Amino acid sequence: MTGLTRLGVAKRVAAAAALSGGGIGVLTGGAIGLIVAEAKLARRAIGPTKGDPPRADGVYGAWYAAPGVDVIRIAMLGDSSAAGYGVTESARTPGALLASGLAEAAGAPVRLQNVAKVGGQSSDLGWQLERVIAAGPDGGGPHLAVIMIGANDVTHRVKVAESVRFLGDAVRRLRAAGTEVVVGTCPDLGSIRPVAQPLRRLARRWSRQLAAAQTVEVVSAGGRTVSLGSLLGPEFAARPEDMFGPDRFHPSAEGYAAASMALLPSIAAALGRWPDAETGEPDTLEPARGEARMPLARAAVLAARHGGTEVGREVGSAARAGWGILRHRRRRQIAEPVVPPGADASAQAGGEATDSGAGAAAESASA
């Protein structure tokens, strides 16, 4: 790891996990048996993923092209949530929504490249990053990278320290190349309907612990995060028929739109293209909205509990090590994307993919 030891990562992860509720405690043999049984039922109800998400790569907002207006390059990395698994139209994927919204906010064309993988874990970010860098002009990378990752790390019970180490490495490499990074942290797997208690409660706790640790690591590496867990949890729980897709595990088109609206302000702000609606300034703190500078571990925990919260690093001469900035940026509706020529209009049929569903979380809990 460049510039950081594994011990340093472990200490930060431990601090975030402790503040977000500690470990899962000691499970009795009977409890483990119940959880494993529930996991098998959940896996059966969710079923394997099939086919590939629709492709949405290309240039959005091409009508903004003009002399002196540069094309903004963005890349999507991560798992099925970044790929847009479960929707059938390119325009409904998070990548298309974010590229279209950014083009409108910036008044410039946006070129999207999506290398996210269904079933992806944080350990897959290395090869995804290689593809992103190789595809850039003259070997250069994108101006901004959006990473959505974590759910499969939870379901496969990857150690939190190991998960965030892969994520932190990717963020540092991107930042070293001059790429801004926004990470949508681990979603709330406790909102999955086929998952029963007590597995649902454990899934929620594991999700929040990973989300808090992701925030600490990403901000320390120079990126910023937006929490998706509790943002999507209550909305998905209240309207599961609208927010979940047919498998009741992956989001529907409306669910992806909700996540994209939460991410867009932070993505545009990372590029200096999202001025505050009231002041016109790009990064004015609003204490009345709960925005503040605070210790990073505390900001990470608050963000994991309150969805749609951005946590970023302090900059400038007044920046303090171990501190971050917590924001609640105002959102706005994203217009219907105009899909570039060459993008698939619908999902491709195919074989089973590797996204395993929430049921895998507890099947390995007894290991």
Whether 80 is a known active-site residue: answer: yes
Can you tell me whether residue 277 is helix, strand or coil?
coil
Point out the catalytic residue in the list 100, 250, 252, 356.
Answer: 250
Whether 57 is a known active-site residue: answer: no
Token readout for 2 is 């460049």
Token readout for 115 is 């290398």
Contact 285, 292 (CB under 8 A): yes
* DSSP summary character for residue 53: P
Helix axes 94-106, 253-270, angle to 10 degrees: 40
Whether 356 is a known active-site residue: answer: no
Can you tell me whether residue 279 is helix, strand or coil?
coil
Point out the catalytic residue in the list 52, 124, 247, 355.
Answer: 247
Query: In the block, which residue shows the tokens 């509706």?
Result: 333
Strands of 174-268, DSSP E: 180-184, 224-226
For residues 238 and 249, give the distance between their C-alpha atoms in angstroms, rounded to a whole number.
Answer: 15
* Closest to 47 (Cα-Cα) out of 81, 86, 96: 86
Point out the catalytic residue in the list 20, 80, 191, 230.
Answer: 80
For residues 283 and 187, give the distance between their C-alpha atoms in angstroms, rounded to a whole number.
Answer: 26
Active site amino acids? 80, 247, 250
